[in-house]
Structure 1
């Protein structure tokens, strides 16, 4: 079938093929993109936690006093120096649940801290979770996704 030279546009078959290819690409991309966003949210929460722990440690050393990070399952984590709240780490438990094995993390004036383990998960998907360990030296460390502090596979989102 030949076209007239003054006709422009797409045929119905060309349009249907384009829509079919677009549907296939979106069917593959959307679930992967959703998983990527969820992983990024967990990684971001772990990084934010390490940042606030490093801040608390720095404040304790700088002010030559103790700094305490008050742990909460549902509310913001608060850094207190003396009786003053100096910083908060808010989190949405629906996006990333943070579960610690202590009620507070205390940094002393020499930079040392009470040891703690914090598990960060989403929807009990422990294989995608992170563990942040605070050593007695005061240094916080994020362990690889899905791994415990000792390197073994993470088997639970609770401490």
Structure 2
């Protein structure tokens, strides 16, 4: 399924606040919530907002390295759930060949936010984990929590 980053919010959980990235998909009003870390959530938001802080942070650095070596991020694919953990693949075009790199969804989405590359989600993964978007309306945007 073709997907996009709908929002990055912060949910309250019994263990405390937890950032969640909401992936929307074409043809549905549901979203796929993926719980991620605060640093990755802030990085995704910075990528979406195209904020340059002067020095590269981790995801900016990784993208710089890929591009300096002649590669580019082709797409991000959330492929499965394994032991309650989402699995993503980062598709890269490189001068030698195209490669698929195993990645955490949060890291892959932080790169997608910086490159505007396509994001896809396995249909079964979305169907199994999808929830109505309005369930997340009361959650704070990550930008309001992390400054």
TM-score range, shorter-chain basis?
Answer: 0.3 to 0.5
**TM-score, L = length of structure 1:** 0.30
The one of the two structures with greater contact order (alpha-carbon pairs below 8 A, sep at least 6) is 2
Bigger share in strand: 2
